[in-house]
Structure 1
Amino acid sequence: MITIDGKQIKLQIWDTAGQESFRSITRSYYRGAAGALLVYDITRRDTFNHLTTWLEDARQHSNSNMVIMLIGNKSDLESRREVKKEEGEAFAREHGLIFMETSAKTASNVEEFLYFIFQAFINTAKEIYEKIQEGVFDINNEANGIKIGPQHAATNATHAGNQGGQQAGGGCC
């Protein structure tokens, strides 16, 4: 649960870990997803080369408005870098993705790495919330990957006849 603009947002997170052997199963995760993180290892060109396929899967099996962030991981291993930062930026720009690089350098930096990942989810959730506010996502259509929480649903039922009134309480999603 996180709070954005004073609204409680519940994130459900699925990690496919890029497993090619489970590709047919991972496609089902995209159905109903409002956001996705595509992560590649900057020290392994093959992980970057597979991005196009993962992105095609995500877009083919999800809502066209899904927010997608591209993350280049292991940026601390500059001497072993096989994928330039500019390549990641260009791929993200070309495909309309948010882009960041990060590092899980040592065990002592795990907290910073987890903080970065948490921030990536927060930023993705904020963009999804903005799309809800703009009317891009219909919060009443669960096929968009957004489910109205019980507190919000009760508020809607209570205030159904209150035209133009301010909604009280609750969570967004």
Structure 2
Amino acid sequence: MQDGKQIKLQIWDTAGQESFRSITQSYYRGAAGALLVYDISRRETFEHVSTWLADVRRHANPHTTVVLVGNKCDLDGRQRQVTRDEGEKFARDNDIPLFIETSAKSAENVEEVFAQTAEDVYEKIKSGVFSPNEVLFVWFYLY
């Protein structure tokens, strides 16, 4: 954190699988952050983001930090099926304040996405929106 504080993240990776959907809904209640991750080279994963976002908004605290993440930005541009502009527009249109493209393979922006999300949640803890004891993140891989 910018003020030298440390924050411990508890992260659940739901893998975006429909078979886990009923289980993942129970994680939403205590989630301070939700990372919705889609594969920029597979349009169908981007098309599922709205369903997962609706679940987060239906079951999570209304103050939950939501981040839209387009993964695999290291790929050749010809493999891209979802443009950066489309991701940014979806985030804007759905009041998602944080959008970032990452690469799990090259680690590009991976630390950044966690740092930005943690900073946002930490500000909410400092303002009393969340208790430090109830903070966890739900990470949704949608592919």
Q: Give the TM-score taking structure 2 as reference length.
A: 0.83
The one of the two structures with greater contact order (alpha-carbon pairs below 8 A, sep at least 6) is: 2
Who is 1:60 aligned against? 58
Q: Distance in 1 between matches of 2:92 and 2:4?
A: 31
Alignment of 1:129 with 2:132, yes or no, is: no
**Which of residues 7, 17, 22 in structure 2 aligns to 1:24?**
22
Q: Distance in 2 between matches of 1:37 and 1:100?
A: 10
Using a 3 Å threshold, how does the CA distance of structure 1 residues 63 and 8 change in structure 2: closer, same or farther?
same
**Which of residues 120, 124, 135 in structure 2 aligns to 1:146?**
135
Who is 1:81 aligned against? 80
Who is 1:90 aligned against? 89
Who is 1:50 aligned against? 48
Unaligned runs of 5+ in 1: 148-173
Contact 2:124–2:130 (Cα < 8 Å) also in 1: no
Report the alpha carbon displacement of residue 43 of structure 1 after superposing the two structures with TM: 1.0
Q: Distance in 1 between matches of 2:86 and 2:112?
A: 23
Q: Distance in 2 between matches of 1:56 and 1:4?
A: 32
Size of the aligned set, in residue pairs, is 134
Q: Which amino acid aligns with 1:51?
A: V
Who is 1:11 aligned against? 9
Deviation readout 1:136-171 (Å, 9 max, x if unpaired): x0428x6xx339xxxxxxxxxxxxxxxxxxxxxxxx
Point out the structure with max Rg over C-alpha: 1
Q: Which amino acid aligns with 1:132?
A: I
Alignment of 1:99 with 2:88, yes or no, is: no
Q: Which amino acid aligns with 1:54?
A: W
Q: Distance in 2 between matches of 1:9 and 1:74?
A: 27
Name the structure where strand makes up a greater proportion of residues: 2
Q: Distance in 2 between matches of 1:39 and 1:125?
A: 16
Unaligned runs of 5+ in 2: 137-143
Deviation readout 1:29-57 (Å, 9 max, x if unpaired): 11100001100011111100000000011
Q: Distance in 2 between matches of 1:19 and 1:117?
A: 22
**Which of residues 117, 120, 125 in structure 1 aligns to 2:113?**
120
Contact 2:32–2:130 (Cα < 8 Å) also in 1: no
